[in-house]
Amino acid sequence: MALGEAWGLALPAGSVIGLRGDLGAGKTQLVKGVAWGLGITTPVLSPTFALVNTYNEGRLPLYHLDLYRLETLEQIVAAGLEEYLSTPGVTIIEWAERWFGDGTTVAIADAKDLSVGAAVGVKPSKGVFRWVKIEVLSELERRISYEDFGA
């Protein structure tokens, strides 16, 4: 939660965070921390069945996507989710590897323009693309690693 809060305080508009990790790894907990850092006090819930939850009360809007029920890129495109790669707020995508692959294929067009949506021809607006991996080490311990691309 504290790490997410620090990110929420600092992320610029247009940022996209892709989360990957096993079921129960803490992806939604990290999103709750980001929401808190953005000044959002509404309870943050996983949008597993809704696909997207939007929170507008903070410093920036938060768009929380969960791709758990979508298995292919075609399903993601058909759901119209690519619009969330270019928002005036912060977009966080749980199970992001279902959209962008395992993270080794993320292509950078240049230092300020990340083409994470190359497969669907969509690029995030300003901000960063943060690729996050959460690993479960024990019941109470996680390893969180990340890499920033873009702005």
pLDDT confidence of residue 109 = 34
Domains and CATH numbers, the chain: 2-150 (3.40.50.300)
pLDDT confidence of residue 126 = 66
SS3 of residue 5 by DSSP: helix
Task: Report the distance separating Cα 37 and Cα 65, nearest Å.
Answer: 18
pLDDT confidence of residue 36 = 97
pLDDT confidence of residue 119 = 42
Q: Which segments of the chain are extended strands (E)?
A: 15-21, 52-55, 62-66, 90-94, 108-110, 113-114, 128-138, 141-150
pLDDT tens-place string over residues 18-42 = 999 999 999 999 999 999 999 999 9
Position of tokens 């024990």?
Answer: 138
Positions of the chain with pLDDT lower than 50, given as ranges: 105-124
Share of the chain above pLDDT 70, in %: 83
Task: Report the distance separating Cα 66 and Cα 57, nearest Å.
Answer: 20
